Amino acid sequence: MTKPQAIKAAEDRDQPLPEEYFDELEKFIIDMGDTQGALIEILHKAQCIFGYLPRDVQLFIARKLGIPAAEVFGVVSFYSYFTTEPRGRHTISVCMGTACFVRGSDQIIERFKEKLNIESNQITEDGNFTLKDVRCIGACGLSPIVMVDNKVYPRVEEENLDNIIKTYSSEGL
């Protein structure tokens, strides 16, 4: 899904990104040796370290690889897996693949939107949840599927949603 992502001229963050994250990323890049064609792999790693790909991280990667920052942003914005916005502590992914769709996943995501009071690809006010619609995760036999972080919830019904949210809410922990 190539969704347009806003380009920010300046970062509006209060806290700078941790230095040791950059060190870790730099080490990863150096250990790779040959970086030809490795941009996507590096972005995966960077997103794994930082949680998202803010402007500074993209610039950092561009400089390390000696390629234009526009090329990095071009790749980041092309792939739906990469995000330039921070994510909530937990990501709720609702599968919108065909098998899940015909079993009612469109209703499920609507209920989530109501309950969390956000749209998809947004983050809740308390920073706890991000809601995402994803394409088929390959467990179509158990549709409709909801995935929270890496845990898959099979055959979800509307009644289950409160429970899922509660399990991952800050109070619930």
Partner 1 sequence: MKICSLDDLSKIRNDRRSLNSRINGRSIEDRIEILVGLATCGISSGAKETQLAFENEIKEKNFKNISVIPVGCIGNCYSEPTVQINVPGQSPVIYGRVHVQDVPEIIEKHIRDGIPVDRLALTNPVDNKQMRIALRHCGLINPEDIFEYLACDGYEALGCAVTQMSPEFIIDEVKKSGLRGRGGGGFPTGVKWEITRAQPGERKYIICNADEGDPGAFMDRSILEGDPHCVLEAMAIGGYALGADQGIIYIRAEYPLAVSRLNTAISQARKLGLLGPNIFGSNFNFDIRIKYGAGAFVCGEETALINSCEGKRGEPNFKPPYPAQKGYWGYPTCVNNVETFANIAPIITKGSSWFASIGTEKSKGTKVFALAGKINNVGLAEVPMGITLRELIYEIGGGIRDGHKFKAIQTGGPSGGVISEEYLDTPIDYDNLIEIGSMMGSGGMIVMDETDNMVNIAKFYLEFSMDESCGRCTPCRIGTKRMYEIINKITSGKGTMADLNSLKQLTYMVRDSSLCGLGQSAPNPVISTMKHFMSEYLAFIPDPRAKLKFNVNKHSRKSKKAD
Q: Three-state SS for 148?
A: strand
DSSP string for residues in 112-128: HHHHHT--TT-B-TTS-
- Determine if 136 is a binding residue for partner 1 (CB under 8 A): yes
* Window 58 to 117, contacts with partner 1 (CB under 8 A): 74-75, 78-82, 95-103
- We find the least distance from the C-beta atom of residue 172 to partner 1, in angstroms, to be 21
Alpha helices in the chain (DSSP H): 19-32, 39-50, 55-65, 69-78, 98-102, 105-116, 161-168
Q: Using CB under 6 A, which of 49, 67, 69, 140 touches ligand FES?
A: 140
Nearest to 131 by CA among 78, 89, 73: 89
Q: How far apart are CA 116 and CA 119, in angstroms?
A: 9
Q: Using CB under 6 A, which of 99, 106, 115, 121 touches ligand FES?
A: 99
- Determine if 152 is a binding residue for ligand FES (CB under 6 A): no
- We find the least distance from the C-beta atom of residue 23 to partner 1, in angstroms, to be 23
Binding site for partner 1 (CB under 8 A): 1-3, 36-41, 43-44, 74-75, 78-82, 95-103, 134-143, 145, 150-154
